[in-house]
Amino acid sequence: MKLKEYQGKELLKKYGIKIPKGQVISSIKTLKKPDKECVVKAQLLTGKRWKSGGIKISEPEQTADTCKRMLENPINGERVEEVLVEEKLAIAKEMYLSITIDRFNQNYLLLYSHHGGSYVEEIIKENPDIIKRLNFTKPDEKELKKIIDTKEIIPIAKRLFDLVKKENALLAEINPLVITDKREFIAADAKIILDDNALNLEKDKLNYVKLEGDIGIIGNGAGLVMATLDTFKQLGGNPACFLDLSGGTGAEIMKKALQAVLANPKVRALFINIFAGITRCDEIANGIVDYLGEENPSVPIIVRMVGTNEQTGRQVLEQKGIKVVESMEDGVKQVLKEI
Amino acid sequence: MLINKDTKVIVYGITGKQGRFHTKKMLEYGTKIVAGVTPGKGGEEVEGIPVYDNAREALKRHKAEYAVLFVPAASVKTAAFEAIERLNLVIITERIPVNDMIEIVQKAKAKKRVIIGGNCPGICKVGESKLGIMPNNIFKKGDVGIVSRSGTLTYEIISQLSSAGIGQNICVGIGGDMIIGTGFNKILENFQKDNEIKRIILIGEIGGDLEEKAALYIKDNITKPVAAYIAGRTAPPGKTMGHAGAIIGESGEGSAENKIRILEKNGIKVAKLISEIPGLIG
C-alpha cells in the first residue's frame, strides 16, 4: 500500500525523523493562512509532481487560491484529495536516503547519496557511483559509517530502519533529506510503501485492475491471468481488465467478479480462464450461473475450464448455453472472433 | 536432486482444509508423508497419517527430510522457525509478511536448509513424489526441468508440454512473492548437475530482477538448452498484478520487456505465446 506524502511524513515523525512544519487540508475552509512563503504540495500517489504542477511555491496571500486550484483540478488523471502546505525550508543541501527490500539478496538495501532531489534517477543513470549501497539484515554501526559520511545521518538511517521493521514497509524513501542552512536535517518528502501482506486488508477485496480495452478477462492465478492478457494482445485483442481469483474461490466471489468486470460499459466480450487445482470448476460454474440468473449480459461469455470437477462444471455451464472450451488459446481466438 | 520417491515429508497444518485436501492428493501421487503437525491436535489422524503437536514430537518417531507448510500467513514464521531446525521447507502459504520471510531466509541460511516458496505450488518430481498442490494428472515423465514463479500458469505450460509429448523430470514452483526462499539460480545450478534433466524451461513474470540475474547466470553456468516464458508484457507500470511480488517500478524496472531483452541477449529463447514453448524446447 502506497502512502501519500503526508501519511509517510507522519510515520517519519513517529520514528523521530524531523519533518517540515505544515498542515494537511482537504478543503480551503480549514486552511490556516501561512505567515510566510510556503510550499503547496498536492498529495498524489503518482510521482514527478514538480513537472505536472503538483508542487508550487506560494506567498501567504496566494496560498488559498493555489490550494483551491489544486483541489479542483486532477493532476495526471488523479484527483487531488488533500494538499500539504508546508514551511519553505532554507536548503543548504539535498541528500538522498532510502531503505528498500533487495529481492535478489533477500535482505534490506540502504541507498545513500549526496545528490538528492527530483532528478536523482537521471543522475544515477549517468553516474551510478554517486549512490552508496549497503545490504544488511540488521543495521551495523560500523557498516553504516563506511557509507554514510555525514555523522548526523547515521541515527536517521537507524530510525528509518526501525520504521521499516515495525511498520512493515517495503520502501521508505526520503528524497530529498534536506540539510538546512542552520544544519537541521529534515525530510522534505516521504515515499513509503507498506507490505499489504502485513496489513489486515479486507479478505474479499477483488484483485481487479481496470485497463483500456474491450475484452474482459477473469482467471485463477496471477501468472495465468497475465499470460491470458498477453495472449490476447499478441493475437490482436485489447484487454479491458485483469482479474485474478484466489485459489479456492467459491460461487459468491465468482459472481462478484462478473459484476465488477461487466460493470464496465467498454467490455464487448468476456473470457474466463480456469485451471482448477484447489479451485473447483463446479463452484466457478455455479457462480457464473447465479450471475446469469440475476443479470442478462449482452456480451458473449466464453469459459475455458480444466481441472478439479471439470465435468460437472462444464455440464452446468453448457446447460445454460455458455460456450466451454478446453484450450486456452482456442478460447482466446474464439473470443476474438466474437468481437 | 531436490526430492525423489524416497523423500520423507511432514505436513504442517495437516488438519486444516487445505492441509487435508492436499495430503490426500500427495498420498495419491505417491509422496512418502510420514507425519503431520498441527499444534493442539497431536494424537489425531488424517488419511491414516499420525498428527503431532510439533516437529520434535514427530521426529522422535519418524525420519523426514522436508516439511510442507499449509499454515496461515501469520503463523508461518513460528512454524518455519521450528521446522528449520531439522527439515527443509516447502512453503505453500501466500501473503506472508515480507519481514517474516527475510527472517526465515536468514535462519535457513544459518541452518543450511533449503526453502522453497512462500506462495508457491511446491515441487513435483514426476512419477515419484509431489510436495505441494500441483494437480496430479497434468504431468508426463520426461527430461525437462521446469522452474517457475507462477502457480496455475505453470500447470498450463506443463499441460501443453505433456500434450505435445514433451515430458517433465521435475517442476519447481519457487513462488510469486517479493522475498522467496530460493531464486532461479540455485535451482538452475541443481538442474545443470542433474543428469536426468536435458533441457530447462524458466517461467517468469514482471517484478523484481530474478529473471535478469538468471539470464547472466545461465550464460556463464548452464550448458543445457533453456527456453523461457515471461508473463506480464501487457501489465501497466505501477499496478499490483495479483502477486505481492509482481509490481513494475515506475521507471520500467522489473518490466517484462526488460527481462525478455536480457534473456534473449544471453542466448535464452523466449516464447511469445505459451503454445510456442514446445517448439522452442523440442
Using one digit for the tens of pLDDT, what is the confidence trace for B187-211? 999 999 999 999 999 999 998 889 9
Question: Model pTM?
Answer: 0.92
User: Residue B96's closest chain A neighbor by CA?
Assistant: A197
The model's pLDDT over A195-216, given as tens digits with 9 standing for 90+, comes to 988 887 776 778 999 999 999 9
- Which parts of chain A register pLDDT below 70? 203
Distances (CA, A) of A80 to A28, A45, A70, A72, A276: 13, 10, 7, 7, 42
Q: Chain A 63-102, CB below 8 Å of chain B: which residues?
A: 101
Give B241's pLDDT tier (boundaries 50, 70, 90): low
Active site residue: B32, B113, B149, B243, which one?
B243
Distance in Å, alpha carbon of B88 to nearest chain A alpha carbon: 18
Q: Judge whether residue B247 has pLDDT over 50.
A: no
Residue B250 has pLDDT above 50, yes or no: no
In angstroms, the CA A265 to CA A240 distance is 10
Q: Is A248 on the interface with B (CB under 8 A)?
A: yes
* Predicted-complex ipTM score: 0.93
pLDDT for A296: 85
User: Does residue B280 register a pLDDT over 60?
Assistant: yes
What pLDDT is attached to residue A60? 96
> Do residue B152 and residue A197 have CB atoms under 8 angstroms apart?
no
Which among A163, A226, A244 is the top mutation candidate for probing chain B, defined by the most B β-carbons within 10 Å of its own β-carbon?
Answer: A226
Angstrom distance (rounded) from CA B134 to CA B123: 8
What's the rounded Cα separation, in Å, for the pair A266 and A200? 33
| Strand A191-194, strand A169-180: pairing | antiparallel
Choose the mutation target among A44, A52, A104 for the interface with B, i.e. most B CBs under 10 Å: A104
Residue A93: other Cβ atoms inside 10 A: 16
Q: What is the residue-averaged pLDDT of chain B? A: 94
Select from B133, B206, B239 the Cβ nearest to the Cβ of A278: B133
CA angle A173, A77, A176 (to 5 degrees): 20
Measure in Å the smallest separation between the Cα of A100 and chain B Cα atoms.
11
Q: Which residues lie across from B4 on neighbouring strands?
A: none
Q: Is B22 a catalytic residue?
A: no
Q: With bands split at pLDDT 50, 70 and 90, how would you rate the model's confidence at B239? A: low
Supply the pLDDT for residue B235: 87
Q: Which three cell numbers stand for residue B177?
A: 512473492
Number of CB atoms found within 10 A of residue B175's CB: 33
**B99–A277 C-beta distance less than 8 A:** no
CA distance A71 to chain B (A): 23
A219–B239 CB contact, under 8 Å: no
Q: Which of A46, A106, A278 sits opposite B21 (nearest CB)?
A: A278
User: What is the average per-residue pLDDT within B116-128?
Assistant: 97
pLDDT digits (tens, 9 = 90+) for A17-76: 999 999 999 999 999 999 999 999 999 987 778 888 999 999 999 999 999 999 999 998
Give the pLDDT confidence score for residue A16 in this predicted structure.
Answer: 98
Nearest CA of chain A to the CA of B61: how many Å? Answer: 31
Contact B148, B122 (CB under 8 A): no
Closest residue in chain B to residue A230, using alpha carbons only:
B234
Taking the C-alpha atoms of residue A245 and residue A207, their distance in angstroms, rounded to an integer, is 7
Between B151 and B1, whose confidence is greater?
B151
Query: Cβ–Cβ of B235/A308 closer than 8 Å?
Result: no
pLDDT level of residue B16 (50, 70, 90 thresholds)? very high
pLDDT per position as a tens digit, B19-72: 999 999 999 999 999 999 999 999 999 999 999 999 999 999 999 999 999 999
A224/B150 touch (CB, cutoff 8 Å), yes or no: yes
For residue B245, pLDDT beyond 60: no
